[in-house]
Amino acid sequence: MSEPVLEVRFTERDAATALRSDVRAGLTDAPKWLSPKWFYDARGSALFDRITALPEYYPTRAERAVLAARAGDIAALTAAQELVELGSGSSEKTRLLLDALVGHGSLRRFVPLDVSEPALRAATAAVAADYPGLVVHGIVADFTERLAIPSDGARRLVAFLGGTIGNLLPEERAWFLKELRHVLRHGEFLLLGTDLVKDPAALVRAYDDAEGVTAEFNRNVLLVLNRELGATFDVTGFDHVALWNAEQEWIEMRLRALRDMRVHVAALDMVVSFGAGEDLRTEVSAKFRPERVADELAAAGFALRRLWTDDHVRFGLSLAEA
């Protein structure tokens, strides 16, 4: 097996700078918000992995079902030589794609990209060990900043799975898809996972599970701020809220202050006041109708080749050609 390469384009210092400016912007805005990017420290990533196994959280299982059913088609349609995965996390579902592309005989290189260096280090090591013929090149990067996808002329397939694109606001999404389209050459592909619009009660349950794991995941972002920015959030002073925004067709996670609070954020030399009942929005998770996926891909200059769903039409997987 060849040693996996790990390229760091987003250092701890970059992360620290980005966290500061993000938190300053979000906590001085009205209403207040934080970027979901900051959920994923080691504890947050572990909590997210637990979420994906919860009975209420269907997206991971639904996407895995579509991938399992269509991986062979994806390999045949793309004949990709390089698989780039954005926001790769554990790269667990990606193995279905790796297996199909290796089986097809075209794949040479796997390039997972993630903001979390520990997660990426573990994922690249595991994939390199299990796929001896494959060159594994991990990149620590923030794909919302600038898209740095290497190319040595290989035919690429970029996978953006899990419905993570739903974390971007509509304008950010349009910008991101255009960027990605410009990075790719004609004949290269994007494989995009999108959670689909469905019964709001089922959606809310998926983001407010009975065991309270999602609530812990949500509150964890305050612990990240306490540790990284010397903030004084009392995490027990906030309720976890998941609600369906029918107009925007997205799930919002919020943290609702249970009482009046003043929070000191030492690294920003800032005091933030919360009124009882005030919400801090921590995540937007957009849900899509198939027509919207098609429209947004077309607007970015992609040609939609396939849009598959699982048998229960809960999750969509689109294959689009640049």
**Residues within the interface to ligand AVJ (CB under 6 A):** 51, 59, 162-164, 166-167, 207, 214, 283, 285
- Structure-token pair, residue 208: 């407010």
CA angle, residues 95, 96, 102, in degrees to nearest 5: 80
Residue closer to ligand AVJ, measured from CB, 160 or 274 = 160
The CA radius of gyration of the chain, in Å to the nearest whole number, is 20
Entry field: residues in the chain: 322
Using an 8 Å Cβ cutoff, are 86 and 111 in contact? no
Residue closer to ligand AVJ, measured from CB, 4 or 89 = 89
Q: How far is CA 255 from CA 35, 52, 265, 271, in A?
A: 13, 21, 17, 18
Residue closer to ligand AVJ, measured from CB, 106 or 164 = 164
Q: Give the nearest distance from C-beta 186 to ligand AVJ in angstroms.
A: 29
Residue closer to ligand AVJ, measured from CB, 137 or 219 = 219
**Nearest residue to ligand AVJ, scored by beta-carbon proximity:** 285
Q: Give the nearest distance from C-beta 90 to ligand AVJ in angstroms.
A: 11
Residue closer to ligand AVJ, measured from CB, 137 or 287 = 287
Q: Give the nearest distance from C-beta 293 to ligand AVJ in angstroms.
A: 15
Instruction: Please list, in sequence order, all residues whose beta carbon lies within 8 angstroms of the beta carbon of residue 272, skipping any fewer than 6 positions away.
Output: 27, 28, 32, 262, 263, 265
The residue type at 151: S
Q: Give the nearest distance from C-beta 164 to ligand AVJ in angstroms.
A: 5
Residue closer to ligand AVJ, measured from CB, 112 or 163 = 163
Q: Give the nearest distance from C-beta 301 to ligand AVJ in angstroms.
A: 25
Using an 8 Å Cβ cutoff, are 94 and 88 in contact? yes
> How far is residue 254's CA from residue 259's CA, in Å, rounded to a whole number?
15
Q: Give the nearest distance from C-beta 87 to ligand AVJ in angstroms.
A: 8
Q: How far is CA 28 from CA 100, 179, 213, in A?
A: 48, 29, 28
Using an 8 Å Cβ cutoff, are 288 and 316 in contact? yes
